[in-house]
């Protein structure tokens, strides 16, 4: 079983409660499978939990409060990035460059997930390609939320005009998830 840090769950819950109130979170709980409800009721930020449960709660949030097209996951991913990249981290990364943040993806990834291997290749100023292999649970919701999360992280560390595309996805039968990235940095790179 692939596991993810509890903070991902707590950010999703916080987003729902801030946007839809406590009643909004109760709607998500009511629409969740009984086994997930038990997990969602006891999640702590520092714990480790089933990645499949996280994928299901994202889908449930989107079906309960969105239109079922996964668009709401963009807001959840961006919200999580803003919560994770605190002022201290943001300042540290701004002293570097967006490219530095991209190079740290694999290291940062391991703080939240026990599966998945990133390979990131810079392709010149303001461009990179990345592949994510062997993430332990295949579900489009995870990629959608993660793409929004990574886009917002790069914006927070100074990248401008961030364009992150996900043209190949394991949820669509591909061997690995492939991402293309373009940005303009604070120094023009």
> 52-108: per-residue pLDDT in tens?
999 999 999 999 999 999 999 999 999 999 998 875 566 666 667 777 777 777 788
Q: Does residue 72 sit in the same domain as residue 118?
A: no
Global confidence as pTM: 0.92
Residue whose C-alpha is closest to residue 13's, from 48, 50, 65 = 65
How many helices and strands, by DSSP H and E, does the chain display?
8, 6
pLDDT attached to residue 187? 52
Instruction: Give SS3 for 169.
Output: coil
Residue whose C-alpha is closest to residue 158's, from 130, 188, 121 = 188
Q: Does residue 40 sit in the same domain as residue 10?
A: yes
Last residue of a domain, one of 25, 45, 77: 77
pLDDT attached to residue 90? 63
> 105-128: per-residue pLDDT in tens?
778 899 899 999 999 998 888 999
Question: Could you give the percent of the chain with pLDDT greater than 90?
Answer: 76
How many angstroms separate the most distant Cα atoms in the chain?
A: 51
Domain count, the chain: 2
pLDDT attached to residue 22? 98
Between residues 63 and 185, which one has the greater pLDDT? Answer: 63
pLDDT attached to residue 94? 63
Domain with 35, as residue range(s), is 3-77
């Amino acid at each position: 079983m692939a596991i993810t840090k509890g903070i991902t769950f707590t950010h999703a819950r916080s987003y729902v409660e801030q946007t839809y109130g406590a009643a909004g979170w109760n709607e998500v709980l009511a629409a969740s499978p009984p086994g997930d409800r038990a997990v969602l009721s006891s999640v702590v930020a520092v714990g480790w939990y089933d990645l499949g449960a996280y994928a299901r709660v994202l889908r449930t949030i989107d079906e309960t409060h969105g239109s079922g097209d996964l668009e709401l996951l963009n807001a959840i991913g961006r919200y999580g990035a803003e919560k994770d990249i605190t002022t201290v981290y943001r300042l540290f990364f701004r002293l570097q460059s967006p490219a530095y943040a991209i190079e740290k993806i694999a290291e940062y990834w391991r703080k939240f997930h026990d599966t998945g291997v990133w390979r990131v290749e810079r392709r010149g100023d303001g461009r990179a390609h990345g592949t994510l292999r062997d993430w332990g649970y295949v579900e489009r919701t995870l990629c959608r939320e993660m793409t929004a999360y990574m886009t917002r992280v790069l914006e927070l560390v100074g990248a401008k005009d961030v364009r992150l595309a996900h043209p190949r996805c394991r949820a669509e039968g591909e061997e690995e998830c492939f991402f293309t990235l373009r940005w303009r940095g604070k120094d023009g790179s």
